[in-house]
Amino acid sequence: MEERNGKTLSARSAVLSALLGSHPPRLPARHLVRIGALFGIAEGTVRVALSRMVAAGDLLQADGQYTLSQRLVERQARQDESLHPHTKPWDGTWEVAVVTAERRAPADRAAFRHTMSALRLAELREGTWLRPANLVRAWPEIVTAQCTLIDGRPHGDPTPLLWDLDGWAAEARRLERALDRTEGLAEGFLVLAAVLRHLLADPLLPDELLPDDWPGAGLRARHDAFDHRYREVLQEHLKG
């Protein structure tokens, strides 16, 4: 079976999506095989993917059960935060992180950029990252070791320079429609995964900086309602 964008769903993608959507992120091999079968993926192909993912450190295996590695558990935590974000009232302050570390290796630069994106900061110019101070979270060491952190208030609203809100909103509305018309376990699986990926890209800005018709909360509510029904049907299928 193919995704809506025309790309074939791989065994690895099916396994990761299944485990990232499970709480706790642990499933027996036979369930992962049945999920692969929804997309025409042969049992042997799923089992080879599982072995390779264990060897690569993506999964842990014990007694026929597969669990996400710590790195992917952290990704699941970011995914969960995207669904139910922890925010606080915004007083107009922005967080500004200015890179002051010198001689960073390319791998360190790449890890840093990944972390900043996960923290939902945007880069105004090279080495200067910022966002409104409305999220409840701690700064990881990878940031504090490389940056000077500043609380400030920009002159004017830099939001349009940092995020494509129109583009995000348009895709969110498309996904809302997709949830409404989705049929079958395979299609539901793909649409739910697409919604979660899109919510990871939500900048989680305060209401004061968003358009009046911002679809973020609506997409989360649609996801939760659909996911509750979908998980019940999927569990029955996996028991069969």
Rounded-to-integer distance, Cα 108 and Cα 114, Å: 10
Rounded-to-integer distance, Cα 18 and Cα 8, Å: 16
148 and 204 in one domain? no
**Of 152, 180, 196, which one is at a domain's C-terminal end?**
152
DSSP 215: -
On whether residue 34 sits in a domain, the answer given is: no
Rounded-to-integer distance, Cα 24 and Cα 238, Å: 16
Q: Give tens-digit pLDDT for 21-53.
A: 999 999 999 999 999 999 999 999 999 999 999
| Overall number of domains in the chain | 2
168 and 128 in one domain? no
Rounded-to-integer distance, Cα 69 and Cα 152, Å: 38
206 and 174 in one domain? yes
Rounded-to-integer distance, Cα 150 and Cα 125, Å: 16
88: left (phi over 0), alpha (psi -120 to 50) or beta: beta
Whether the predicted pLDDT of 95 surpasses 70: yes
- CATH number, domain containing residue 192: 1.20.58.1460
Q: Let me know how long the chain is.
A: 240
- Written as six digits, the tokens of 229 are 């029904």
On whether residue 107 sits in a domain, the answer given is: yes
212 and 184 in one domain? yes
On whether residue 5 sits in a domain, the answer given is: no
What are residue 202's phi and psi, to 5 degrees? Answer: -70, 125
186 and 140 in one domain? no
**Of 107, 124, 152, which one is at a domain's C-terminal end?**
152
On whether residue 46 sits in a domain, the answer given is: no
Domain housing 189: 164-228
- Written as six digits, the tokens of 197 are 């990926």
DSSP 139: P
3-state secondary structure 57-103: CCEEEECCEEEECHHHHHHHHHHHHHHCCCECCCCCCEEEEEECCCC
pTM: 0.90
Rounded-to-integer distance, Cα 86 and Cα 162, Å: 21
On whether residue 32 sits in a domain, the answer given is: no
168 and 148 in one domain? no
Beta 94-99 vs 147-152: how paired, if at all?
antiparallel
Q: Give tens-digit pLDDT for 165-197.
A: 999 999 999 999 999 999 999 999 999 999 999
On whether residue 135 sits in a domain, the answer given is: yes
140 and 168 in one domain? no
DSSP string computed for 98-137: EE---S--HHHHHHHHHHHHHTT-EEEETTEEEEES-B--
Q: What's the average model confidence in pLDDT over 199-227?
A: 96
The residue behind tokens 């049929």 is 183
172 and 140 in one domain? no
**Of 152, 186, 220, which one is at a domain's C-terminal end?**
152
Strand ranges of the sheet holding 94-99, from the earlier edge strand across to the other edge: 122-125, 128-132, 94-99, 147-152
On whether residue 129 sits in a domain, the answer given is: yes
On whether residue 103 sits in a domain, the answer given is: yes
119 and 174 in one domain? no
147 and 184 in one domain? no
pLDDT confidence band for 8 (50 / 70 / 90): low
Using a pLDDT cut of 90, give the percent of the chain over it. 91
Q: What's the average model confidence in pLDDT over 88-100?
A: 97
pLDDT at 4: 41
